[in-house]
Structure 1
Amino acid sequence: MDPTVLLLPFLFVLFIIFSGIFTVKQQTAAVLERLGKFHSVRQPGLHFKIPFLDRVAGRINLKIQQLDVLVETKTKDDVFVKLKVSVQFRVKSNSVYDAFYELENPYEQITSYVFDTVRAEVPKLKLDDVFLRKDDIAVAIRREISDAMSEYGYVIVKALVTDIDPDHAVKNAMNRINAAEREKVAAEYEGEAERIRIVAKARAEAESKRLQGQGIADQRREIAKGLEESVDILNKVGINSQEASALIVVTQHYDTLQAMGENANSNLIMLPNAPSSASDMLGDMTASFVASQQIGEKMKEQSKKLELKEAIKAKK
C-alpha cells in the first residue's frame, strides 16, 4: 500500500486537533459561537472548540482605551471654539456579550454623546467661563456617556477636556487685551517709581537748601563775631568804633582784590577803584545807620505822645 495513503488520515486528524485549539491573550475576551449562535465567552488562556461547528466570532479588548474627540461649538458670547475631549473607557468583563452584540461601533456611539453634551453645555457659558469651568464640562460629559453606555457593558473611566482652542481672530484679540493690561500695569509701576524719584529728589534738594541756608547763616554769624572781636581789639588800642570800621572795610577791600588777582586765567575786568571808595561806602552806611536811628527815636516819641493823649481822653 502507498505510504502516502496511510499518511493522509493522520494529517487530517492533526488538522482537526489543531483547528480546535485557540488561545486568548491577557486582558482580552473571545466570543465563541456554535453554528452561528452565541455559545460562550472565553477568558485568557488555552481553549478548545469543536472544529467546523464552533468559531471565534470576535475578540473584545478589556484594557482601558482612549478616544479623542474634537468638537467645534459656539459660546454664549458668540465665539466659536474647538474643544478636544479625551474619553477613557473599558468593557466590563462580565458584560462582554452586551458590548459585542449590542453595539456595532462603540467609538461612533461615544463620539455622538460627546458632541451632544458639549454642544449642550458650552453655549450656556461665555468664553472665559469655558476656560474656568472646563472640569464641570468634563463631569457633564462623563455623566452623560456613563448613563448611556453602561447598559452596553461599557464603563467610562474618565472624561477630560484637554484643549480649548478659540477662533484665531479671538485669540489674537485676547493676546492684545492681555498685552495692553500688562502695559497698563507696567505704566502704573513706572509712574509710581517716577513719583518716588521726584519726591526723593525734592526732599534731597530741600534738605540741601536747608543745610546751605544754615551754612550761610553760620558763616555770617562767624563773620559778625569776627568783626565784633576786631572792633573790640582796636578799641583797646585807642581806635574808636568808626575808625575801626573803616580800617576793617579797607582791609577786606584789599583782601578781595588780592584773592581775585591770584587766578591768572580769570576773565574778570577790574574797573578803576580806590581805597577812598571803601571809605565813602562806609560813610554812607554810617549816615544811613544814624538816620535810621533818628527816625526810630522820633517814631517812639510820637507813639508815646499818642498813648499819653489817649490816656488823658480815657480819664475824662
Structure 2
Amino acid sequence: MGTGEITTIIIIFIILVIIFTSFVSVKQGTIVVITVFGKYRRILTPGLNFKVPFIENVYSKISIQNRSVELEFQAVTFDQANVYFKAMLLYSVLDQQEETIKNVAFKFVDERNLMQALIRTVEGSIRAFVATKRQSEVLILRRDIVEHVKEQLDVILEGWGYHLQDLQLNDITFDDVIMKSMSQVVASNNLKAAAENEGQALLITKTKAAEAEGNAIKISAQAEREAAQLRGQGIALFREEVARGMTVAAKEMAGANMDTSVILFTMWTESIKHFSENSKGNVIFLDGSTDQMQHTLKEMMALNLLHTDNVKK
C-alpha cells in the first residue's frame, strides 16, 4: 500500500470522525448543555442537533422529567416525643428556560450533591415545624406540615432551577410506648363515647316511656270523664222518664179517684227488692214500723207534689 493510499484513508477517517462528532442526538425529555473550553455556550433541545466538533463539548444531560426520592428521618416534638417520618418527594426542573437550565447544570457539582442538599432541606423544614408542636397534634397536622414544607422550599428550589411537585407523608409513627398510650387514650375515649351514647339512649327511652304513660293516663282520664258524663246523662234521663211516668200514673189515678200514695209505696217496695237482689251484703236493716213507713210515704208524697208543681210551671 502506497503513501497516497494511507493518506487517503487517514483523511476519510478524519472526515468520518468530524461528521459523527458534529451531530448530537438528544432524547425526548432531556436537555443537553454545551460548553466551549469549559464555559457555557448553549443548550440543545430534543432531536438531532449540530455542534462544532472538537470545540463545543457536551457538559451534561439534564432530565426535565419528574423525579422522586424516598425519605426516612426522625424529628422531635415540643414535648420531647420522637416522631418517625417516611415520605416521598416528587420534584422536577422548573422549566426549559435557558437561565433555569444553567442553574440546574452549574449550581451543584453532581447529582449526588443535589440530592443531599434537597433531602437535608426537606428534613430540616419538617423538623423545625414539628419542634413547635406537641406529640398529640402531629398526626392531625399532616396537611399543615406539607404546606409548610412547600412554602419554605419553593423559593430555595427555584434558585436551584427545580420545583417541588409534591410531598407525601406516607407514614408517621412514634415510639412503642407512645403508640400504646395513644391506643389506650383512643380506647378510653371510645368507651366514654359509648357510655354517653348508651346514657342518652336510656334517657330517651325513659322519656318516651314517661310520655307514653302520661298520654295513656290522659286518655284514660278523658275516657273516664266522658264515661262519667254519659252516666250522669243516663241517670238524668232515667230520672226524667221516671218522673214523667209517675206524673202520668198520678193523673190517671186521680182521674179514677184513687190515692196516689200507692205509687210511692210501690216504688218503695221495688227499691227494697232491688237492694236485696243487688247488694253485696247478706243483711239489709229496714225500719218496718208503721210510724217509719208513714214518715217515708209522707216524704215521698212531698217530693211528688214538688215535682208536679215544677212540671206545671
Structure-2 residue corresponding to 1:110: 118
Decide which moves more: 230-239 or 86-95: 230-239
**1:1-316 alignment to 2 at 5 Å?**
10=12, 13-34=15-36, 37-44=38-45, 45-51=47-53, 54-83=56-85, 84=87, 86-91=89-94, 93=97, 94-103=99-108, 104=110, 105-131=113-139, 133-151=141-159, 153-158=160-165, 160=167, 162-163=169-170, 165-167=172-174, 168-169=179-180, 172-173=183-184, 175-177=186-188, 179-180=190-191, 182-214=193-225, 217-218=228-229, 221=232, 224-225=235-236, 228=239, 232=243, 236=249, 238-240=263-265, 241-252=267-278, 280-281=283-284, 283=286
- How far, CA to CA, are the matches of 2:193 and 2:169 in structure 1? 27
Instruction: Name the amino acid aligned to 1:41.
Output: R
Q: 1:145 to 1:230 in 2, by over 3 A?
A: closer
TM-score (norm 1): 0.63
CA distance in 2, matches of 1:40, 1:248: 135
> Cα deviations across residues 19-66 of structure 1 (Å, max 9, x unaligned)?
33112234432123455x244232314223354555423211234544
CA deviation after TM superposition for structure 1 residue 75, in Å:
2.4
Distance in 2 between the 1:211 and 1:282 partners? Answer: 39
Q: 1:177 to 1:99 in 2, by over 3 A?
A: farther
Coordinate RMSD, CA, aligned:
4.0
1:279-304: CA deviation from partner (whole Å, max 9, x where unpaired): x33639x9xxx9xxxxxxxxxxxxxx
Checking the alignment, whether the CA contact within 8 Å between 1:29 and 1:59 is kept in structure 2 is yes
Identity %: 15
Q: Which amino acid aligns with 1:221?
A: G
Q: TM-score, normalised by structure 2?
A: 0.64
Residue deviations 1:79-100 (CA, integer Å, cap 9, x gap): 4334436353424531333322
Unpaired runs of 5+ residues, structure 2, are 250-261, 293-313
TM-aligned CA deviation for residue 211 of structure 1 = 3.3
Instruction: Give the whole-Å Cα distance in 2 for the aligned partners of 1:9 and 1:102.
Output: 41
Aligned residue-pair number = 260
How far off its partner does 1:210 sit? 0.8
Distance 1:185 1:17 in 2: 85
User: Do the aligned residues in 2 keep the contact of 1:89 with 1:156 (CA within 8 Å)?
Assistant: yes
Q: Distance in 1 between matches of 2:269 and 2:143?
A: 102
- The equivalent residue for 2:296 is none
CA distance in 1, matches of 2:181, 2:52: 64
